[in-house]
Amino acid sequence: MTAPRIVVIGLGATGSAALYHLARRGVHAIGVEQFDIGHDRGSSHGPTRIFRLAHFENPSYVALMRSAHVLWRELETSTNLKLLHTTGIVKIGPAQSGLVRGTITASRDHNLRYETMDAATLMRRYPSYRIPDDFIAVWQQDGGFIEAEAAIAAQLRLSTDAGAQVRTNEKVLAVKPSRKGIHIKTDRDLIEADGAIIAAGPWLGALLPQLHLPVRVTRQTVCWFEPYDAAQFAADRFPVFLLETQYGLHYGFPAYGASGVKVAKHHHLDEVVTPETCERNVSARDVAAVRAPLSQYLPAADGRLLDAQTCLYTMTPDETFIIDRMPEFSHVVIASPCCGHGFKFSPVIGEIVADLATTGSTAHDISRFRLSRFG
| pLDDT above 80: residue 77 | yes
Distance, in Å, from the CA atom of 169 to the CA atom of 171, rounded to the nearest integer, reads: 6
pLDDT at 3: 76
For residues 91 and 56, is the Cβ–Cβ distance under 8 A?
yes
pTM value?
Answer: 0.97
| pLDDT above 90: residue 328 | yes
- Which residue(s) pair with 216 in the sheet? 315
Domains of the chain: 5-45+149-210+319-374 (3.50.50.60), 89-141+216-315 (3.30.9.10)
| pLDDT above 80: residue 59 | yes
Q: Mean pLDDT throughout 232-259?
A: 95
pLDDT at 285: 97
- Pairing type for strands 5-9 and 195-198 reads parallel
Map residue 235 onto helix, strand or coil. Answer: coil
| pLDDT above 80: residue 1 | no
Distance, in Å, from the CA atom of 281 to the CA atom of 308, rounded to the nearest integer, reads: 9
- Which residue(s) pair with 91 in the sheet? 138, 242
Distance, in Å, from the CA atom of 83 to the CA atom of 272, rounded to the nearest integer, reads: 32
pLDDT at 375: 83
pLDDT at 2: 64
pLDDT tens, position by position, 206-225: 999 999 999 999 999 999 99
pLDDT tens, position by position, 256-300: 987 899 999 999 998 999 999 999 999 999 999 999 999 999 999
Q: What is the SS3 assignment for 168-220?
A: CCCCEEEEEECCCCEEEEECCCEEEECEEEECCHHHHHHHCHHHCCCCEEEEE
Which residues have a catalytic role annotated?
Answer: 45, 48-49, 262, 267, 311, 344
More confident residue, 257 or 80: 80
pLDDT tens, position by position, 90-144: 999 999 999 999 999 999 999 999 999 999 999 999 999 999 999 999 999 999 9
For residues 217 and 202, is the Cβ–Cβ distance under 8 A?
yes
- Burial class from Cβ neighbours inside 10 Å (0-12, 13-18, 19+) for residue 255 reads buried
Percent of the chain with pLDDT over 70: 99
Q: What is the CA radius of gyration of the chain?
A: 21
Mean pLDDT of the chain: 96
pLDDT at 119: 98
Distance, in Å, from the CA atom of 142 to the CA atom of 90, rounded to the nearest integer, reads: 10
Q: Mean pLDDT throughout 333-339?
A: 94
pLDDT tens, position by position, 28-54: 999 999 999 999 999 999 999 999 999
pLDDT tens, position by position, 158-188: 999 999 999 999 999 999 999 999 999 999 9
Distance, in Å, from the CA atom of 29 to the CA atom of 23, rounded to the nearest integer, reads: 6
